[in-house]
Structure 1
Amino acid sequence: MLFLKIAGFCLLFLLGAYAGKPCNLKTFQPNFSVCVCNENYCDEIDPLGSPSKGEAVIYYSSQSGKRLERSTTTGSSNKPDGFHATLDTNNKHQKMLGFGGAFTDAAGINLQKMPSALADQIINQYYSSDGIGYTFGRVPMASTDFSTRVYSYNDISNDFNLQNFNLTHEDFAYKIPYMKTAMKANNQVKFIGSPWSAPGWMKNSGNMVGGGVLKGEFNGIYYNTYAQYFVKFLTEYQKVGLPFWAVTVQNEPNTGSSTTWPWQTQYYTAEMERDFVKKLLGPALKTSAAGRNVGIIVSDDNRKNLPSWGDTIFGDSDAAKYVTGIGVHWYEDGQTPASVLTTTHNRHPDKFILATEACCGYRKDGLGEWFAAQLITDDMMTDFQNYVAGWVDWNLVLDMSGGPTWVNNNVKASIIVNPDKKEYYKAPLWHHMGHFSKFVPPGSFRISHSTDANGDLNMVAFLDPQGRRVVVVINKNDVVGQKLSVFDNGKYFTANLEPYSLATIIIP
């Protein structure tokens, strides 16, 4: 009997079945499932390994409960039935920058409520090579809607020399420790700083909450002081061993036009960002020890800013020399076609486009909802097809209510913690993100493909730095399964996709 069990296990392994630690699936209601992790057990992703010549590896997830399950398939010279896609590795497009999430106050508060070993495990689930290989961390500069109070780094009025600038308890307790854990897991992590608002005393409204602009003459003393505020932020983080890769000028500057906006914001037009960058922020960073290698990302808002925002800023060489890319959010993508991304890229091919924030709204009964993750994945694919070079999710960790948030702006996250039970839940989005971030590392290129697939399937293809072809495909049909065969080097590699499922196909 023992021999039969061992032989059976070996056969499964040779056939490429999922041999690691599978998802401990918990279903809250039909089609709403998560993977449960605690100090004793958490699912693991089987390593890619070294597939044989003529084989491909498939990682597969589905609404029915499969989560990044590994298998292999042998290529066929005969054209199978179903849909087909042909790869063109000679037609390379944007170089991919990576994937990540945000080190918000809310994320840190939730991590701190967990046993330290579990908190570290959660960060490693995101950033280690054994996890899903995140390489980006977005870090709010002071408070956001996902803080528990409104604060800046200098709340002393008229302190134009910023003598009272200090990082806060939130930085030291909720951000820095977990950023350092991420750096230990992956020393290639790139941090992006993003402000929601200048200190209230610098704004014409006198308040961080709600819209408004900086006081006084444009690029006058308040603007000068605010440029140095960025330098101070970068300097203080550098002192604790956390250098930054980039900063955005402002999170969602369009919202700053509303004086009744319910949380922290600040207004810029493209022209205002252009002039602030070229006259003050860019020079301030380049002449500082902490900022000289830090890039500047403009817009950091929804697609509707494009292509005009890029044209305004990159059309000015004095501003463009300081700016490395454009940040886009996904929240109003249904109102603006993805073609504006391609137009922006074609006009300014030397500047990257990076998706810097995305999340879905909270539903009290929505934990483990597949459809929410599918919406984001479908949008990611469309973004990548239109020259977006990476994707940064919003809060890394939230609680069972989708918070904390001081304005009750509760949303979903890839990992949800339950401190009372000392366990956490990997929502479907964690696995969806992993279908990309695990197998499309920085330095990969998107490549062209042709397909006869119908609208139920969306797909995108990449060439990784080792020369492997990586195809991610999603079946958006909730009733009908689909079969897709990828043609490459004279062979067809086939994935069977049940309703509401997702596959990453890796061809050596």
Structure 2
Amino acid sequence: MNIKHLVLVLLTGGVITSCQKEEQPEITVFETSAGGNKLTQVTGGKPAEEVSVITIDPEVSYQTITGFGGAFTEASASLLNRMSKAQRDTILQAYFGKEGARYSLTRTHMNSCDFSLGQYSYTPVEGDTALEHFTIDPDKDDLIPMIKEAMEFSEDGFRIIASPWTAAPWMKDNNEWVGGKLLPEYYDAWAGVFLKYTDAYKNEGIDIWGFTVENEPNGNGNNWESMHFTPEEMTDFVQHHLGPMLEADGKGEMIILGYDQNREELPKWVDVMFRDEESSKYFDGTAIHWYESTYDYFPEELQYAHEKAPGKYLIQTEACVDSEVPQWQDDAWYWKKEATDWGYDWREEEKKYLHPKYAPVNRYARDIIGCLNNWVDGWVDWNMVLDRQGGPNWFENWCAAPVIVDPEQDEVYFTPLYYVMAHFSKYIRPGARIIEAKATDESLMVTAAVNPDNTMAVVVFNEGNTPRSFRLNWNGLEREIRISAQALQTIVIPTAQKEL
């Protein structure tokens, strides 16, 4: 019998028991938990006394998934180059290999960013509007080799989004790496950099899928590389310069994502980007970050952005545990509410409530599920690899990553965040459709997807410290599943009984 599989991703821990007398499809459970499992196949366990219901309806569908993944940065790439080949291969296999997380959507930086070893530009010669001295040489030592090695490990391939933090200082009104605006007389020259960059990477054997116009156009304080746009300025740049130039150069298929910052201001940006047919012609979608809050994923703003441009991409392009030196070989820390972020220390008093202490695993799980339930079609983490300090970072802006390394000792630590990402990226594949999923237990977060091969993925998160049980209903079938406190599961279920 040709049996297809249903994949359930559950942020839980548990057991499966038969709820019907007739022959039922077998279910396989993989678990990541605060108790120590890491995508481990598990069986057994005592069901909880109270049983709620989760209902999956594949007939009701929403957005199509673009992918999940992380970012190629010079920081990550330079660390890999300091590791032994065996350890480097272990990391890239874990992220991109068939038996690993199977990352499908990635991001990288154009010119330098804070997670570079220093500040650099592809256009180092002042006044070079013809871009005669354009060069990607700064990327050739570390960044490009990491991307090309990842391509070798990836059987399905992955898409790359490129994002600039700033143009070269000579193109800006303040002639600085930090802050300032792109001078209007350099709009065409800066758009030309995107074209040159695409060709240069193509010559290296790397295809760029698309761009965000500017990382964090609202600015990030007087910190690392940045360049400011208003919604009107960015829309003008895309509508009259970047979009037409890409089209004229035969690159009209390149994806252009606007905004690329926190979700709170989404309505203001999409109102301008998609105000009419002319303004929205070259915008293929919107990019967002999660740093506005450690717990609020801003569902109303996400819904608004989708309604404003229902046929466009809505992609989470950056997230990380920021303003933290990562904990080394301490899995328990990632499950506890100990982490703080930039807003815990620096946010204005009236908005500090958005930045309480939090458990990193919980933040990732809640945000990804919340995004998927509100039209987000892609979710990209920040650095794939950092060291025990949370760098290298020329500004000393220390952050955590799913994989932490000690290059001096040639040691690798896969944090629980790696496994959280893998539960989504491995089992919800590009082209999947988000489908209806409802839970009667309000303490459980749930999302679900049907993959192109007709497998399904359902993600359930139990953030609490109490195990729970629920009956999972789909296509007329039913299973009772026990959910441990603070755990993540992937459940595989054959679905031969119905073609979707």
Whether these two folds match at TM > 0.5 is yes
Q: What residue is the counterpart of 2:289 in the other structure? A: 329
1:418 Cα shift?
1.6
Q: What residue is the counterpart of 1:500 in the other structure? A: 486
2:93 aligned to which of 120, 124, 127: 124
Give the whole-Å Cα distance in 1 for the aligned partners of 2:49 and 2:326.
Answer: 41
1:179 aligned to which of 138, 147, 172: 147
Q: What residue is the counterpart of 2:455 in the other structure? A: 468
Q: What residue is the counterpart of 2:405 in the other structure? A: 417
Q: What residue is the counterpart of 2:445 in the other structure? A: 458
Instruction: Give structure 2 stretches of 5+ with no counterpart.
Output: 1-22, 336-358, 495-500
Q: Which moved more, 1:381-390 or 1:118-127?
A: 118-127
Equivalenced residues, count: 442
1:80 Cα shift?
8.7
Is 1:105 the counterpart of 2:104? The answer is no
Q: Is the 8 A contact 1:87 1:449 kept in 2?
A: yes
Q: What residue is the counterpart of 1:190 in the other structure? A: 159
Q: What residue is the counterpart of 2:414 in the other structure? A: 426
Q: Write the deviation string for residues 411-434 of structure 1: whole angstroms up to 9, x where unpaired.
A: 010111122332211100110011
Question: Under a length normalisation based on structure 1, what TM-score does the superposition of the two structures give?
Answer: 0.83
Q: Is the 8 A contact 2:314 2:376 kept in 1?
A: yes
The residue correspondences of 1:333-344 to structure 2 (distance < 5 A) are 333=293, 334=295, 337-344=298-305
List, as ranges, runs of 4+ consecutive aligned residues in structure 1 with deviation greater than 4 Å: none
1:339 Cα shift?
1.4
CA shift in 2, pair 1:483/1:436, >3 Å: same
Q: What residue is the counterpart of 1:358 in the other structure? A: 319
1:395 Cα shift?
0.3
Give the whole-Å Cα distance in 2 for the aligned partners of 1:481 and 1:83.
Answer: 12
Give the whole-Å Cα distance in 1 for the aligned partners of 2:203 and 2:270.
Answer: 33
Secondary structure, counterpart of 2:228 in structure 1: coil
1:500 Cα shift?
1.2
RMSD: 2.1
Q: Which moved more, 1:91-100 or 1:421-430?
A: 421-430
Instruction: Give structure 1 stretches of 5+ with no counterpart.
Output: 1-51
1:308 Cα shift?
2.6
Q: Is the 8 A contact 1:68 1:431 kept in 2?
A: yes
Q: What residue is the counterpart of 2:467 in the other structure? A: 481
Secondary structure, counterpart of 2:166 in structure 1: coil
1:222 aligned to which of 176, 180, 186: 186
The residue correspondences of 1:56-205 to structure 2 (distance < 5 A) are 56-71=27-42, 81-169=50-138, 171-186=139-154, 187-205=156-174
1:388 Cα shift?
0.3
Is 1:55 the counterpart of 2:15? The answer is no
Q: Is the 8 A contact 2:169 2:175 kept in 1?
A: yes
Q: Is the 8 A contact 2:218 2:229 kept in 1?
A: yes
Is 1:314 the counterpart of 2:274? The answer is yes
Q: What residue is the counterpart of 2:343 in the other structure? A: none
Q: Write the deviation string for residues 391-420 of structure 1: whole angstroms up to 9, x where unpaired.
A: 100001000111000111110101111223
CA shift in 2, pair 1:151/1:448, >3 Å: same
1:494 Cα shift?
3.1
CA shift in 2, pair 1:507/1:411, >3 Å: same
Q: Write the deviation string for residues 73-96 of structure 1: whole angstroms up to 9, x where unpaired.
A: 9xx9xx994221011111000001
Q: Is the 8 A contact 1:299 1:305 kept in 2?
A: no
Identity of aligned residues (%): 34
CA shift in 2, pair 1:354/1:54, >3 Å: same
Give the whole-Å Cα distance in 2 for the aligned partners of 1:185 and 1:309.
Answer: 38
Q: Is the 8 A contact 1:97 1:389 kept in 2?
A: yes
Q: Is the 8 A contact 1:495 1:503 kept in 2?
A: no
Q: What residue is the counterpart of 1:403 in the other structure? A: 391
Q: Is the 8 A contact 1:474 1:503 kept in 2?
A: no
Q: What residue is the counterpart of 1:44 in the other structure? A: none
Give the whole-Å Cα distance in 2 for the aligned partners of 1:294 and 1:364.
Answer: 37
Give the whole-Å Cα distance in 2 for the aligned partners of 1:361 and 1:401.
Answer: 12
Look up the equivalent residue of 1:287 and give its one-letter code.
A
Look up the equivalent residue of 2:363 and give its one-letter code.
L
Secondary structure, counterpart of 1:181 in structure 2: helix
Q: What residue is the counterpart of 1:208 in the other structure? A: 177
1:245 aligned to which of 209, 221, 224: 209
1:314 Cα shift?
1.6
Q: Is the 8 A contact 1:212 1:267 kept in 2?
A: yes
Secondary structure, counterpart of 1:64 in structure 2: coil
Give the whole-Å Cα distance in 1 for the aligned partners of 2:42 and 2:35.
Answer: 17
1:506 Cα shift?
3.1
